[in-house]
Amino acid sequence: MVNLLENDLLLYIARRDTNPDQLRSLLSTSMDWDYIIATAYAHGLLPLLHKHLSSAPTNVLSLLKRESVANTQNVLHLVGKQLKIYKLFKENDIPLALFKGPLLAHMAYGEMSLRQAGDIDLLINRSDFAQARELLESLGYEMTPRLTPAQLTSHLNNHCEIQFMRDEWLTVVDLHWDLAPRSFVFGLKADEVMSRLQSVSLAGTTVETFNATPPFKENTNATAHEPVFQRERTLPRCDGPCRLAGRRATQCQRANTQGWGSRSRERKKAARREGKNQSQPNTNWR
């Protein structure tokens, strides 16, 4: 069963401002509130739903208020821990960028409590990992899982992050030294991002985060005002937008990856067929 009306409502409230008339129009029909609450929770939209929703069953409004208050408390806790780590790293001359979580909510919605957050995300340079680990451990965080030196070297070479945890409030820090694992199809490099940080204010403290403008390079073959992204190989786009009740992001990524692989296999088969009829293999498909 596809809940189109409920999905339309959730898609509409996923923004900073809404039109009251349009919102009333969406709410003029009967809604499956159990589905709305469960889906909003899964997509981190409960705070925005609470902000924009003024007309709903009493029990729904009460639940949204409780969840919003609890999320605000959690966000304030995370921001306090995040800024403490940020200041300690800066005092020790470790370049770092904050991203996701409350900072993203503040930049996107104007309020850091309007996004559900469960951990702290930091991006550093790979060369600073050992020192960053020592500083986090000095604050009571423990690397999870514990790795031997050989395992850690392999993890640093092939992955992009590792968690550090504290028992108190189960605070989790995701320490990133890259933006994607080595096996990921996109060639996202942390040093490119770290060279282009911007300064923003978070809870009265100036911090650095990703620059909103993506890095592009010039291409003389491109038409005017048509930048070409630095990465040549990207996943094909989905044929259509992923509805909230449809395929999840992981399913779309899997479908895209399979699509990429199937096209590659088709090109290889065509090359083999051409090779049977020619003395030299035809490589024009590459």
Q: Could you please report the per-residue DSSP string of 88-144?
A: HHHHTT--EEEESHHHHHHHHHS-TTSS---SEEEEE-GGGHHHHHHHHHHTT-EEE
Number of independent structural domains in the chain: 3
Closest C-alpha among 43, 178, 197 to residue 116: 43
Domain identity same for 127 and 261 = no
Domain membership of residue 268 (yes or no) is yes
Q: What φ, ψ does residue 142 adopt, rounded to 5°?
A: -125, 135
Helix runs in the chain, H state only: 4-13, 20-26, 33-42, 46-52, 58-91, 101-109, 129-138, 149-158, 190-194, 249-276
Domain identity same for 47 and 31 = yes
Residues in the chain: 286
In the DSSP assignment, the letter for residue 73 is H
Domain membership of residue 70 (yes or no) is no
Domain identity same for 83 and 52 = no
Q: What φ, ψ does residue 102 adopt, rounded to 5°?
A: -60, -35
pLDDT score at 241: 39
Separation of alpha carbons 100 and 76, rounded Å = 15
Given a cut of 70, the residues of the chain with pLDDT beneath it are: 1, 169, 214-286
User: Position 262: which residue type?
Assistant: S
Domain identity same for 145 and 207 = yes
136 CB neighbour count, 10 Å cutoff: 21
The alpha carbon dihedral of 222, 228, 234, 239 has a sign of negative
Separation of alpha carbons 280 and 225, rounded Å = 41
Domain identity same for 88 and 223 = yes
Domain identity same for 219 and 190 = yes
Separation of alpha carbons 82 and 208, rounded Å = 12
209 CB neighbour count, 10 Å cutoff: 21
216: helix, coil or strand? Answer: strand
Domain membership of residue 226 (yes or no) is yes
Domain membership of residue 12 (yes or no) is yes
Domain membership of residue 64 (yes or no) is no
Separation of alpha carbons 54 and 38, rounded Å = 18
Cβ distance 185 to 131 under 8 Å? no
The residue segments making up the domain with residue 147 are 77-234
Last residue of a domain, one of 212, 234, 256: 234
pLDDT score at 270: 52
Domain identity same for 97 and 36 = no
pLDDT score at 269: 53
Distance of CA 242 to the CA centre of its chain: 16
- Would residue 170 be called left, alpha or beta, if left means φ above 0 and alpha means ψ between -120 and 50 degrees? left
Separation of alpha carbons 165 and 142, rounded Å = 5
Domain identity same for 84 and 222 = yes
Last residue of a domain, one of 201, 218, 234: 234
